[in-house]
Structure 1
Amino acid sequence: MGNLTGKKVFITGAEQGIGRATAEQLIQAGCDIYLHYHSGEEGPKALVELAHSLGQRAAYGYADLIETADAERCVRAGAEFLGGIDILINNVGGIVGRKWLGDIDRQFWQTVLDVNMTTMLNVTQSALPFLKAATDGASVVNLASLAGRAGGHSGSLVYSSCKGAVLTWTRSLAAELGEHGVRVNAVAPGLILGTRFHDRHTTQASAEETVRAIPLGRAGTPQDVARVIAFLAAEYDGFVSGATIDINGGIYRM
């Protein structure tokens, strides 16, 4: 695994949950970091303070990543602050709401697609020149989901389809960017409690039922995911590319 000290990280959705835990993990590993957020500055402020306490550079900025120009502005601000981008973490995504097939309208379909895929397109496209310019190779890590592997719970049809697309996006992008020394991988978390996603969209009864089926006998935490992302991020000079690592306690084994 490569040394992360001094590496330049751009991460989306760093205000809470997996994004915040991942940013903290990368800061602790010695990275300089630019934190994108969309709702709430409390998390990014705390992360910047942590980085400064360790003698590292950190800053944060707001953007609506669905808007191409806003995404470009935010990525450019991050690259200018950091002096480039070695590692890109595409963390933004969400279910938006649970809707069954008969209730899905065009607006809902487009919103979920935008939140999970358009954001990733806009950010990755904007970061591409900086990733290509990384002197020791670059690393991209995309947030997928167990829902993209197994289909998700009822009512998550559009979200699950988008997360399945993230898996294919990751494989295709790895093939496309390999010649530039850019590695592209994904993680597919299962039930990760302590995130806005599950606080809003998973009932306690549903979580308890899921945990009973998990071989390790517990739900995951944002830190469980952050450790794996940090490993993949450090593979900026490695041979792992086009892979997806499942983080689900053994409930899905394919």
Structure 2
Amino acid sequence: MHNRDMTFDLTDMRVLVTGGGVGIGLGIVRSFAELGAKVAFTWKTHEPDQALLDEIAELGGNPPFAVQLDVTDEHQVTTVLAQVADTLGGLDVLVNNAGGMIQRSTVDEMPLELWHQVLDVNLTSCFLVTRAALKYLADGSSIINVASLAGQNGGGPGASAYAASKAAVIGVTKAWAKEFSARQIRVNAVAPGLILDTPFHELFNTAAGRAAAIEGIALKKPGFPADVAGPVLWLADPRASGFVSGTTIDVNGAAYFS
């Protein structure tokens, strides 16, 4: 029997988190930084101020590299990934977190443009960033895709495009786990349920909606970004999860079981 120290040691691990300036992404960035990782993160609209960058640097001693990126723009993705890899000296972990609902819409009222926008920001972005990252990811690296409970249960009213895109993220996670296995690159996903302190629920939910959602959670409480970061850290550490690939971890307080 092998004895392993299960304490996470991510010192100097080279990590990129897309959409890391706010919400779940920022929670993941903070957690990696706290454990000594070298972290880069992208942002589109939530520009980090110097105070936040200083706070992240103080957590583990490594200054973060923050860069603006539209993850749906192929040229930008290629350029920024090269900058990130040059700054960090390569990559050990990629967290595809950037995404969003854009807006709620029923199918009969949904413009084709909105359908494409939602799929692009949640699914195509994963493809573009992952494809660009492959040349920089070390063998034995970890890719973690942030899916959603909506991709498993269909989501709430007017969320069909979002649910479809997140279900596809779960599907592509399985496909990539097989495709990248020759390089021992593990690919997994996390599927958060109700996670507060995020722009998503500020924009697309109401106080009544959140209260109703909490009633449907077995633990009778919401989650927070740190609750998602924990499983992500575990998936990133090859000593802890080196035989885990192609799976999706539910982070929903027992609201739903996949």
Task: Give the TM-score taking structure 1 as reference length.
Answer: 0.94
**Alignment partner for residue 13 of structure 2, among 7, 26, 32?**
7
Is 1:150–2:156 an aligned residue pair?
A: no
Cα distance in 1 for partners of 2:196, 2:56 equals 24
1:50 CA drift (Å): 2.5
Amino acid at match of 2:94: L
SS at match of 2:200: helix
1:42: Cα distance to partner? Answer: 2.4
Question: 1:44/1:179 Cα in 2 relative to 1: closer, same or farther (>3 Å)?
Answer: farther
SS at match of 1:129: coil
Cα separation, 1, equivalents of 2:173 and 2:20: 21
Q: Out of 71, 75, 79, which is 1:69 matched to?
A: 75
State the identity %.
37
Where is the helix percentage greater, Structure 1 or Structure 2? 1
Give the unaligned 5+ runs of structure 2.
Answer: 1-5
Alpha-carbon offset, residue 57 of structure 1: 4.0
Aligned length: 251
The corresponding residue for 1:226 is 229
Report the secondary structure of 1:36's partner residue.
strand
Which residue number corresponds to residue 60 of structure 2?
A: 54
Q: How does 1:75-224 map to 2 (within 5 A)?
A: 75-131=81-137, 134=138, 137-224=140-227
**8 Å CA contact retained: 1:35, 1:44:** no
For each residue in 1:22-56, what CA deviation from the matched residue of structure 2 results, as whole angstroms up to 9, or x when unmatched?
Answer: 00000011100111111132268614543256322
Aligned to 2:3: none
Match of 2:250 in 1: 246
Q: Distance in 2 between matches of 1:158 and 1:53?
A: 37
2: CA distance, partners of 1:176 / 1:47: 36
Unaligned runs of 5+ in 1: none
Per-residue CA distance 1:112-137 (angstroms, 9 max, x = gap): 01111111111100000111xx15x1
Shift in CA distance, 45/123, structure 1 to aligned 2, threshold 3 Å: farther
**Structure 1 residue runs of 4+, over 3 Å off?**
none
Normalising by structure 2, we get a TM-score of 0.93
Structure 1 residue 214, shift from structure 2 partner: 0.7
Report the 3-state secondary structure (helix = DSSP H, G, I; strand = E; otherwise coil) of the residue aligned with 1:216. Answer: coil
